[in-house]
Amino acid sequence: MDRSAYTKCMIPFMKGGGPGRKLRFCIGAKVCSGKAKSEAEAEQICINQPAKEPKPRKTSARGIDPVKLASCISTNMDLTNLTVDNMPARLEAAITHCSTAKASTKPLTYKRFMSSCMKESGNGGDFIHSQREIKACQAKWNEVRGG
């Protein structure tokens, strides 16, 4: 059975919500794929088969787990005297801190922070010709470190 025929076959099983949606979807998948000859047989297969293991969470292209990143940001963002004006800088500092700190296996160092910050600024880490970017990164470092 080709993909379009399978999709057409699945349409009635996918309509509607409610508590029986997962079972209906499973029954439809078994019938439409040919793994079961009837809906009753498909229902028995769906009821008796163990649930599949959930797929592992995807990480970003940089290998950062979004759930861990969100947790890190929520614990590292300075919320004292938070205003609309200083929120972007504080959020950026927390994100930078959390995305450069590798799951607490290595402590965040000034050198690694500055290198990462310079790369993010689009300068490619060229420390010699970029005093403005260096000063901006140093300000971010001071915010991250609470200074």
- Write down the pLDDT at residue 31: 94
10 CB-near residues (< 8 Å, 6+ apart): 25, 28, 29, 32
pLDDT at residue 88 is higher than 70: yes
Q: Please give the residue that has the higher pLDDT: either 125 or 79.
A: 79
Q: Where do the structural domains in the chain lie, given as residue ranges?
A: 3-48, 66-144
Q: Please give the residue that has the higher pLDDT: either 92 or 55.
A: 92
**Span 128-137, average pLDDT:** 80
pLDDT at residue 9 is higher than 90: yes
- Write down the pLDDT at residue 54: 75
Asked if 6 and 31 count as a contact pair (C-beta separation under 8 A), the reply is no
**Span 91-108, average pLDDT:** 69
